Amino acid sequence: MATLLNRVGSTEIPGPPANDAGDGYRPTADEPFMSLRQQAYFRTKLFAWKDAILREAQGTLSQLQADSLREADLTDRASSETDWSIELRTRDRQRKLIAKIDAAIRRIDEGEYGYCDVTGEPISLARLEARPIATMTVEAQERHERHEKISRED
């Protein structure tokens, strides 16, 4: 598997970029929540995250086209197929993540970004910084996960 990772990159889904505003700006609680500057900051962050995912997916596609499973040894071939299977599952998760990023960008355009879908309260800037696609406050997310766990146990 290490060989595959060296050829096509990490199979981990990259997180959002740390700071892509270019001017060192980071949203603070001292300014109005979801001001135009904050919206621009998160839009830039989301687009950069999406771009990084798409570049990595293109690299995987290029590598898939360039490499074929020509290993003569059955064990080597099985190992390569397993590596590619993991890589392709990761790309599928990233495809779903791109849909969430696009939805977050739409919420910015519609003026709904940064507010909890459940309570309507502002989502903390720290949470949005760590997970810009968040749609719920930490508290609402925890309630949702507890309810989901209880439902699964029934």
b/e burial code for range 66-82 (CB count within 10 A of at least 16 → b): eeeeeeeeeeeeeebee
Q: Which residue has the higher pLDDT, 40 or 56?
A: 40
Among 132, 137, 115, residue whose Cα is nearest residue 49: 132
Which pLDDT score is estimated for 59? 80
Cβ atoms of residues 50 and 101 within 8 Å: yes
CATH number for domain 31-113, candidates 3.40.50.2020, 3.30.70.20, 1.20.120.910, 3.60.20.30? 1.20.120.910
- What mean pLDDT comes out for the span 144-149? 90
Distance in angstroms (rounded) separating the CA atoms of residues 22 and 145: 36
CATH 1.20.120.910 range(s) for the chain read: 31-113
Q: pTM of the predicted model, to two decimals?
A: 0.75
Closest C-alpha among 62, 65, 54 to residue 91:
54
